Amino acid sequence: MKSTLFRLLSVATIGAAALIASPAQAAKIRVVTTLTDLADFSREVGGEHVEVFSLATGVEDTHGVPMKPSFVPVMNRADLMVSVGFGCEHAFLPALLEASKNPRIQYGKPGYVDCSPGIAPLAVPKSTDHSEGDVHPYGNPHYMLDPVLAKTAIQHIYEALVAIAPQYQADFTRNRDAYLAKLDAKIAQWQAEAKGLKGVKFISYHEEWEYFAERFGMKVFDTIELKPGIDPTPRHIEQLITGMKAEHVPIVVREPQFPEKVPALIARQTGATLLKLPIMPGGVPHTDTYIEMMDFIVHTMVSAEAKRG
Amino acid sequence: MNLKYLIGWSSALCLSAIVAQAQETNEVDKLDQRLKQIQESFEKQQREMRENFERLLREQQAQIESLKKELANIPTNAVAAPTNAAPAAAVTTEQLKELNTKVDGVVEAQKQVRPNAFNPSIGLVGETVFSYRSKGADETGSSRPGGFDVYQRSVELNVAASVDPFAKAYAVINASADAQTGEATLGVEEAALQTTSLPWNLELKAGRFFAEFGKLSYIHDHELPFVNRPLALDQYIGGESRTDGAQLNWLLPTPHYVSLTTGFGVGFGGDSPLNNPGSYRSLSGFNYYGRLSTYFDLTPNIQLETGISGLINPSTQDRGGVLVQPDGSTLTEKERRVAGLDLKLSYVPLRNNQFQRLDWGTEVLYSDSRYLFNPSGSLDPANPTHTAGWPAPSPDDYDGNVGSVGLYSYATYKWHRQWSAGFLFDYMQSAENHNDVTVAYSPYITWALSHWNQIRLQYTHTDHNAASGLHPDDAIYLQWAWIIGAHSHGWQAR
């Protein structure tokens, strides 16, 4: 009995020693992003040196990502916390940051990456009164749907990665430049494809498309929401339909996180085409990367307009 | 045998030491290599910077030489220039003056807003409850009158701000209408300091706050999923879990979410009477509590959160004074103990969680308080002061524990951004007499016009058994709650 025990303990000790002896893997930079587009950029720029986790999966409302306690240990160990900024994540990020107890990634710390500096925001409200709904005090935060402005986010992520791991700067630079070259080529392609969208009006459920419209020359006629975060009243729906008919607005955009009933009703009543468009990668099938998502959005808009013509 | 044993263990230990040393040497080598790489990279960068600087200097020197040559040619054209220069200079001065005025205006405007720069975020919550109860307060035991009532339950001012890089602070000051006079009774519900940068995943809170016990005890009234706090929480905790003390929270350093909270305080329960410490409070006069909680993502759309909580006050010193029972006997509390198990299962579809959600929450509590029982009812309730020699024990007084069970269970379904409905079941044995049982059933429906404005309609049927001396009644509540100003989405509200 004693000899058996001795043998077992020896094997266990040697086994443990062997495990300790195995060469330690180089620690990857742990990046947590709020949304999936930022996660895609982080993977592209960080390459093999990063381990990326996105709080959103792609199907959520960007203002309504659930505050899951399972996010807390992930954020607790994060080296970088990447956010869109402009108050986009105000409904879930502040509480999660506090619960994470990670001093490295709190607001203002080097590990907190706000991707909005350098972007001139659209629709900065004159008043932050709630009579205007759930307004964003710093302006519309949905700039990531403009691929040119999205490059600012790539640069912020790059700078944060270089600051935290300067030994990999050459790799980050190469990755960033390669991805930017790919993205620039796609931007040129999208702008060429989307020439027919200039001046085309559309409505969307939430005010998510202002930057996209400005980039591709489209016009946001109105939103289905009465005000940001406030569901439409029957009167507002009626006014929308009347206005769309008068102005010949041909497209209704429904983001996947909003119900279909009212957008479908408006589309039927006005003869407009109802489009379901994602607002971040993963929002609809086969849009797992930012480029795939923008491909889908541009192609869908262009096809809808082409059919109308 | 012993020698074999010794040799074997020694070999294993030596091998471990050698391997560990090899590992250490390996690590040192790697660090050394990395340091060399960084040094080489730094030197390379320095060289490149120096070369760039020298090249820039040469280019600028060439430009200066070129400009000097151009300047040398200017005098032959300069005579004609002044006739054109004067009007341009006048325009420039005017524009400059206008620009200066604008800049001065902006600077002044910035100075004006600076006094507000460090103001805390401020929000105000208002909550009014309109109600009808079929029986009077003497039959229901309620602190509010039966029949028709309007109760301004909350006018709650919330302020919060960072104190410094190490802590933040917040306060919740509430005014509610006194049941008898209707006058506003102002009270500080919470005023606490919370650390923000402790190591080892620790967070310390101190001051007056709602202690983390169970799941709903530390939620403010207007944030509850229904109109009234569950009976078991009202009875065993005393409303909200308010205490004056300190609380330490530890997020365990594990990949799985586990949170441990422990604390102590004077008093526990916003509506709970305090102990009677007299002129000296010993450590046993404090309330000590703790909660261990964890969470599971059963599927991407289904979440389970569960926790266990405990509270002990070793010496309550006749908390609440002399407690008169329906049968005329009296008792005084000597020790307070409460344990709880909470569970919340939620269906939160990621795709449209703003428009659809199902929550099922349950909490089971066990109260095990020790009392001095006075069956003859000889203790004088009108003289609750704990003075020396009081209360005079009578021969039939005896010490004993009362174990009581209470629970609530609710389910709320949200099918629209604005609409949700649910049902709450209450079961509560009195902490002073577990034969005294109250059961209540409450369906409710909520209309959230917006995130800051909601109306809730709730019906409650309450049944008491004979031991309580109270009578069943039916009530209808209409609750209207609103928020103005800053309102953060706190961790407890998830």
**In the predicted structure, residue A13 carries a pLDDT above the cut 80:** no
Considering the domain boundaries, does residue B78 fall inside one?
no
**In the predicted structure, residue B5 carries a pLDDT above the cut 80:** no
Q: What distance lies between CA A159 and its chain's CA centroid?
A: 19
Helix then strand then coil, % of chain A, to nearest 5: 50, 10, 40
pLDDT recorded at residue B210: 97
pLDDT recorded at residue A209: 97
Q: What's the pLDDT band for B45 if we cut at 50, 70, 90?
A: low
CB-defined contacts A:B, below 8 A: 132
Average pLDDT, chain A: 92
pLDDT recorded at residue A21: 41
**In the predicted structure, residue A23 carries a pLDDT above the cut 50:** no
Q: What's the pLDDT band for A19 if we cut at 50, 70, 90?
A: very low
Whether B61 and B188 share a structural domain: no
Whether B132 and B67 share a structural domain: no
Whether B244 and B140 share a structural domain: yes
**Which ipTM was obtained for this model?**
0.86
For A:250-269, CB contacts with B below 8 A are 256-259
**In the predicted structure, residue A274 carries a pLDDT above the cut 80:** yes
Whether B55 and B166 share a structural domain: no
pLDDT recorded at residue B378: 73
- As a whole number, mean pLDDT of residues A168-179 equals 98
Gap between the Cα atoms of A202 and A247, Å rounded? 10
Interface test with A, best of B37, B44, B297, B353 (most A CBs within 10 A): B353
User: CB-based contact (8 Å) between A232 and chain B?
Assistant: no
pLDDT recorded at residue A130: 85
Token digits of residue B470: 């109270």
Nearest to A60 among B19, B350, B491 (CB): B350
User: CB-based contact (8 Å) between A303 and chain B?
Assistant: no
pLDDT recorded at residue B81: 41
pLDDT recorded at residue A85: 95
**In the predicted structure, residue B12 carries a pLDDT above the cut 60:** no
Nearest-neighbour CA in chain B from A162: distance (Å): 13
Considering the domain boundaries, does residue B164 fall inside one?
yes
- As a whole number, mean pLDDT of residues B350-364 equals 95
B23 versus B468: the higher-pLDDT residue is B468
The predicted-structure confidence for B162-199, as pLDDT tens digits, reads as follows 999 899 999 999 998 877 788 888 999 999 999 998 99
The predicted-structure confidence for B234-244, as pLDDT tens digits, reads as follows 999 999 999 99
- As a whole number, mean pLDDT of residues A277-295 equals 97
Considering the domain boundaries, does residue B52 fall inside one?
yes
pLDDT recorded at residue B325: 84
Whether B42 and B180 share a structural domain: no
Total count of residues recorded for chain B: 494
Nearest-neighbour CA in chain A from B5: distance (Å): 7
Q: Residue B378 maps to which CATH number? A: 2.40.160.10
- As a whole number, mean pLDDT of residues B410-421 equals 97
Considering the domain boundaries, does residue B103 fall inside one?
no
Residue at A48: amino acid letter = E
The predicted-structure confidence for B263-298, as pLDDT tens digits, reads as follows 999 999 998 888 877 788 899 999 999 999 999 999
pLDDT recorded at residue B19: 46
A67 versus B12: the higher-pLDDT residue is A67
**In the predicted structure, residue B490 carries a pLDDT above the cut 90:** no
Report the number of distinct structural domains present in chain B. Answer: 2
Considering the domain boundaries, does residue B99 fall inside one?
no
pLDDT recorded at residue A15: 47
Report all structural domains of chain A as residue ranges with CATH numbers, in order of start: 29-190 (3.40.50.1980), 194-308 (3.40.50.1980)
Whether B257 and B333 share a structural domain: yes
Q: What distance lies between CA A30 and its chain's CA centroid?
A: 18
Considering the domain boundaries, does residue B368 fall inside one?
yes
pLDDT recorded at residue B110: 52
The predicted-structure confidence for A27-50, as pLDDT tens digits, reads as follows 999 999 999 999 999 999 999 999
B204: closest chain A residue by CA = A101
Whether B266 and B395 share a structural domain: yes
Whether B65 and B132 share a structural domain: no
Whether B332 and B430 share a structural domain: yes
- As a whole number, mean pLDDT of residues B410-423 equals 97
Considering the domain boundaries, does residue B189 fall inside one?
yes
CB contact under 8 A, A231 and B418: yes
**In a 3-state reduction of DSSP, which class is residue A281?**
coil
For A:56-95, CB contacts with B below 8 A are 57, 59-61, 64, 66-70, 72-73, 76, 90-92, 94-95
Q: What's the pLDDT band for B338 if we cut at 50, 70, 90?
A: very high
Average pLDDT, chain B: 83
A225 versus A309: the higher-pLDDT residue is A225
Q: Kindly list the residues from chain A whose CB atom is less than 8 angstroms away from the CB atom of residue B295.
A: 68-70
Nearest-neighbour CA in chain A from B12: distance (Å): 6
**In the predicted structure, residue B205 carries a pLDDT above the cut 90:** yes
- As a whole number, mean pLDDT of residues B249-267 equals 97
**In the predicted structure, residue A18 carries a pLDDT above the cut 60:** no
Q: What distance lies between CA A183 and its chain's CA centroid?
A: 16
Considering the domain boundaries, does residue B91 fall inside one?
no
Q: Kindly list the residues from chain B whose CB atom is less than 8 angstroms away from the CB atom of residue A59.
A: 350-351
The predicted-structure confidence for A201-243, as pLDDT tens digits, reads as follows 999 999 999 999 999 999 999 999 999 999 999 999 999 999 9
Q: What's the pLDDT band for A63 if we cut at 50, 70, 90?
A: confident
Whether B185 and B252 share a structural domain: yes
Nearest to B353 among A66, A70, A76 (CB): A66
Contact, A175 vs A45, CB < 8 A?
A: yes
**In the predicted structure, residue B226 carries a pLDDT above the cut 70:** yes
The predicted-structure confidence for B72-98, as pLDDT tens digits, reads as follows 665 544 444 444 444 445 558 888 887
Q: What's the pLDDT band for B439 if we cut at 50, 70, 90?
A: very high
pLDDT recorded at residue B311: 98
Domain that holds residue B68: 29-72
Q: Kindly list the residues from chain A whose CB atom is less than 8 angstroms away from the CB atom of residue B38.
A: 166-167
Tell me which of A135-144, B5-14, B313-322, B473-482 is least confident. B5-14
pLDDT recorded at residue B388: 46
Whether B138 and B217 share a structural domain: yes
Give me the percent of chain B exceeding a pLDDT of 90: 54
Closest to B156 measured CA to CA, from B177, B120, B130, B127: B127
- As a whole number, mean pLDDT of residues B28-42 equals 63
Whether B52 and B156 share a structural domain: no
